[in-house]
Chains A and B, each alone.
Chain A
Amino acid sequence: MPEHLLLATAAADADGAMNPAIGWGGLATSLLLVAAAVALSWWQGLRLEREILWATARALLQLLAVGYVLVVLIDPDTPVVWAWAWVVAMVGFAAVTVRRRAREVPGLTGLAVVALSVSSAVSLGVVFGLQIYPVAGRAIVPIAGMMVGNSIGGLVVAARRLIGELSERRPEVEARLALGQPWPEASKPFVRDALRTALTSQIESTKAVGLVFLPGAMTGLILAGADPVDAVLVQAALMYLILGCVATNVVVVGLGLTRRLFTPDHRLVRLARSRS
């Protein structure tokens, strides 16, 4: 089932359905909307014109670069090890991104690498171990990309929230420590709150899917001419994987970070206050 959906674009062409390729002309036309955004910024005095143009150019260059790499990676003749190498690089980039978005959290890069590696290994192990998708570059790269990409937000929220909770409620944490509670017990209510907050967003997204928005993979498949029901099956499987992946990431980072925030003799280290 998945193999033919992954080849939906070709199938769509063969069936005479909508051609998903918009070409350079279509891309140029879509820039009209960027021009509208620039015009609105100028009209309202937002001074974001340069930012918008820079973001537009950067996104195009990045996507083009990635696109050309993907052409090579998903080529059936390319050894699959290159796809795995790409996943490793993605984990690294994602960890750096997480670190940039939560600078006040100590040692987050390493923790994010561990969390993303664990969650990717578990999720991709399930996907390919149970043969939900074939072990091929055209499956490995986009699926890992969706999992890692969707995990970034949860990781940042979990880390920032945990630091915020433990710094704002330091008196309560220390009152618990002063009663002789070990740090895992003293921090439990705050870790629980942080993890719940980080996971709630993904759970809400999962609940709202279909009612409020149509997710990317499904939209792409339908645009490419796939049967909507088949597209739904692919999307549902991906969403469950993403949910599991985000949950694994959030828990690994939450527990790992909490361990770093306490000394072996059960003292809470000094924390920078979260600004979020």
Chain B
Amino acid sequence: MVALFDLDGVGLEIDGHRILDDVSFTVPDGGITVLLGPSGSGKSTLLRLLNRLEVPTEGRIELRGEPLADLDPLALRRRVGMVFQRPVVFPGTARDNLLVARPGADDDDLAERLRAVDLDPKVLDRLADDLSGGEAQRLCLARTLATDPEVLLMDEPTSSLDPEARDHLERTALGLVEEGMGMVWVTHDLGQAERLGDHQVVIVAGRCATEAEAQRFLANGHAGGSGEPEGAAGSRDGGRRA
């Protein structure tokens, strides 16, 4: 079976600083793959490589067997949607936000998009800036889904939300995955990784963690974590996939 993403020897250097080094692992097609690691380990940057908001300085990334470098970046970004750490709403109403991703859509279509992320369609006429943090992040998710992506990249999307809004978004995400959406989720929260992760990849200091590094992180990681992840299935060359 062709992997959703295949990373081989991926490295990234920015202004002389090495951000990622020789990262190799595969993201299976199906379920949620969690990229786990301490803050500043490079996992968000790694996620940005998957829709070409960054481009690796070394190595190769494939989406369903196609090299990312060969794909049109704009078409790729509509196939591989991204939800950012903090909700980034655009000026105007929720409708205006959705229309950026889906120009010309009618209100019935947009209302359906909102219902898909558990938002009341009445939100369409509200100013996006007036929404709560949880609502704003769900609007961002709806906006990303409005391009009909086949994969979602979630960059710590619940880190600025309260527990209730976080749980709500997690449930929505799980529902999307059940419907066949591919998903890569970045977090440093071990509890969240356990709740969501069908597959886990631990990133430490810009590379796939060794067994010892992964164990150390999992033992001393985020307070929400409860210890050992599920059955290990190591990545191609040393990446710790738990």
Contact = CB atoms under 8 A, between A and B. Distances in A.
Interface residues of B, number: 25
Given A179-B143, A181-B100, A189-B91, A265 B55 contact: yes
B70 to A, nearest CB: 12
B212 interface: no
A84 B24 CA distance: 62
B141 to A, nearest CB: 12
Nearest to A173: B88
Interface string B77-113: 1100110101010110000000011000000000000
B75 interface: yes
Contacts of B90: 172, 175-176
Interface string A169-181: 0011011111111
B53 A179 contact: no
A217 B73 CA distance: 53
A2 to B, nearest CB: 47
Interface in A173-213: 174-182, 189
B15 A172 contact: no
Interface in A144-186: 171-172, 174-182
A174 B54 CA distance: 11
A180 B100 contact: no
A182 B78 CA distance: 11
A266 B73 CA distance: 7
A267 B91 contact: no
Contact of B53 (A178, A182, A189, A270): A178
A174 B73 CA distance: 13
Given A171-B84, A171-B86, A180 B140 contact: no
B78 A179 contact: yes
Contact of A178 (B14, B15, B51, B86): B51
B74 interface: yes
A171 B74 CA distance: 17
Contacts of B88: 171-172, 175
Interface residues of A, number: 16
A152 B231 CA distance: 65
Contacts of A176: 90, 100
B53 A175 contact: no
B222 interface: no
B64 interface: no
Contacts of A267: 52-55, 73
B144 interface: yes
Interface in A103-133: none
A19 B18 CA distance: 70
Contact of B144 (A179, A181, A265, A266): A179
A264 B73 CA distance: 10
A177 B91 contact: no
B215 interface: no
A53 B84 CA distance: 55
Given A180-B75, A270-B14, A174 B53 contact: yes
B147 interface: yes
Interface in B20-49: none
A17 to B, nearest CB: 57
B96 to A, nearest CB: 11
Given A174-B53, A175-B140, A270-B14, A182 B74 contact: yes
18 contacts: A171-B86, A172-B88, A175-B88, A175-B140, A176-B90, A176-B100, A178-B51, A178-B77, A179-B81, A179-B100, A179-B101, A179-B147, A180-B101, A267-B52, A267-B53, A267-B54, A267-B55, A267-B73
Q: Report the 9 A-B pairs with minimum CB-CB distance, sorted nearest first.
A: A180-B78, A175-B88, A178-B82, A180-B77, A265-B73, A180-B74, A179-B101, A171-B88, A266-B73
Given A182-B74, A267-B73, 12 more contacts: A174-B84, A175-B84, A175-B90, A177-B53, A179-B100, A179-B143, A180-B78, A180-B101, A181-B74, A189-B91, A267-B53, A270-B15
